Structure 1
């Protein structure tokens, strides 16, 4: 099977995540406001950004693993049972390491 489309999608999404994570990091590094009410509001926003950043970092790790599987020639094979992953599943979830049955 040719996985060029999935690889392109993974590389594109990786670029989006990397850019957004950089922006999140920059936002979190900004000096807090002096006013305590503004600071409390800012802290709530920072907590949301931190959680979003953690989720995006996890997705980035899944993407890197999928790209490594493409390079190794094991992409499209379930990491649990060794069966082929359906092409439709790879189109929808290009970073998935498992077939539908094992993911359930």
Structure 2
């Protein structure tokens, strides 16, 4: 299976996630309001933004691992059993590291 289209998609997703993370970092570093009621709301918002940032960092890691596997020739192989992950699964989840059988187990 040729992975060029998936590689391009992964690279585009990586760039989008990096941009998203930069935006999140900019939001987190903004100063808070002087009003205590607004500060409480801003702190709640900070928690949500922080959670989104953590999810974004995890996605960045998964995408980078997939790109590294493409580079070293191990992309598309299940890390659990060593079988092919399957074209359909990789098209749906390009950063998948396990075949359907192992992912369900």
TM-score class, shorter-chain normalisation, is: over 0.9
- What residue is the counterpart of 1:88 in the other structure? 88
What number of residue pairs does the alignment pair up? 104
Q: Distance in 2 between matches of 1:72 and 1:80?
A: 18
Q: Distance in 2 between matches of 1:23 and 1:56?
A: 11
- What residue is the counterpart of 1:69 in the other structure? 69
Moved over 4 A (4+): none
Q: Distance in 2 between matches of 1:56 and 1:26?
A: 14
Name structure 2 gaps, 5 residues minimum: none
| 1:34 and 2:71 matched | no
Q: Could you state the TM-score of these two structures normalised by the residue count of structure 1?
A: 0.98
Name structure 1 gaps, 5 residues minimum: none
- What residue is the counterpart of 2:10 in the other structure? 10
Q: Distance in 2 between matches of 1:29 and 1:4?
A: 38
Q: Distance in 1 between matches of 2:33 and 2:24?
A: 17
CA RMSD of aligned residues (A): 0.6
Q: Could you state the TM-score of these two structures normalised by the residue count of structure 2?
A: 0.97
Q: CA deviation at 1:23?
A: 0.6
Q: Deviations over 1:58-85 (max 9, x none)?
A: 0110000000000000101111100001
